[in-house]
Structure 1
Amino acid sequence: MRILAPLLLIATTSARADGPVIEDAQARSTAQGWRFDVTMRHPDTGWDHYADGWEVLAPDGTRLGLRPLTHPHETEQPFTRSLSGIVIPDGITTVTLRARCSVDGWAGTTFTLPLPE
């Protein structure tokens, strides 16, 4: 039993460490506001645990946009989803993107995206 306890602890820790990760993102200004295309990865297991959204944050932490994800993507990893019509206040040149999953909530890691001029 002494050998099993540490192995179980490692397995539990590893599973929790696999939060949603934003791997890439692009932004472009349009006549209707900014469009963001975000590529993310998460070990979705089905409706009980999946990446369920991402957000665009101003440098001061103000939410500028939220993209809910309404279903799991177990067989589509990584996957890209878009959000349009985001208003970026004048003077902001960089935004932060953060992903969320249905079980663990907001990821601790973020993705910094410089906005093209």
Structure 2
Amino acid sequence: MKLSISSFLIVLVLWLSCCSSSDETADPNIGMEEEEMQETTDGVAQVTNVSVSGTDDQYTFSVTISSPDLGCNQYANWWEVIDLDGNLLYRRILGHSHVEEQPFTRSGGPVSISADTEVYIRAHMNTTSYGSRVFRGTVSSGFIPENLSIEFAKDLEEAEPLHTGCAF
């Protein structure tokens, strides 16, 4: 069977996009377009993609964040899963800046929720607090980008666990 050059290129692009994705077992959910991401990262950390694997009460979240990290003086220091009432369900502490790795993805868990529990996933910056670009959804239906007031459940900035410093 002969393939034309254009058919070969299409197959190659599809194969590369498949192979370059994370090795998570769950399908990745919808992410933000690059232009949209750039519009929302002015001085704050923003969630740009979320994928989930696991089972009820044992989910692992992989969260992609875009942030204007400059080093330990300015960096995204955690991402968290909260319910729609503003209760902290899980927080993934980020122990260092990601100056040369933007956007970056970090996984965390287990997150003890059911597949139908609706949650927000948001990021926090050590200097500017929460970003307004979050993802909202459920494990069963997926997560989509949404804007959330940076004042929503802002008191969680004082809730444990808290970051204890920046490695680099």
Deviations 1:67-105 (A, max 9, x none): 01010000000100011211115852x210110011011
Residue in structure 1 matched with residue 134 of structure 2 by the alignment: 110
* Deviation, structure 1 residue 32: 6.4
**Partner SS for 1:112:** strand
1:77 corresponds to 2:102: yes
Contact 2:115/2:140 (8 A) holds in 1: no
Structure ranking higher on relative contact order (CA contacts 8 Å, 6+ apart)? 1
- Higher strand share goes to which structure? 1
Q: Residue in 1 aligned with 2:146?
A: none
1:110 is paired with a residue whose SS is strand
Q: Deviations over 1:1-46 (max 9, x none)?
A: xxxxxxxxxxxxxxx9331110000122337611100001101011
Identity percentage of aligned residues: 31
Aligned residues: CA RMSD = 2.3
2:48 counterpart letter in structure 1 = E
Q: Quote the residue 2:89 is aligned against.
A: 64
Q: Amino acid of the residue matched to residue 48 of structure 1?
A: N
How many correspondences in the alignment?
Answer: 102
Runs of 4+ deviating beyond 6 Å: none
Q: TM-score, normalized by length of structure 1?
A: 0.76
Aligned position for 1:38: 63
1:89, 1:30 → 2: CA distance? 8
The match for 2:166 is: none
SS in 1 for 2:54: strand
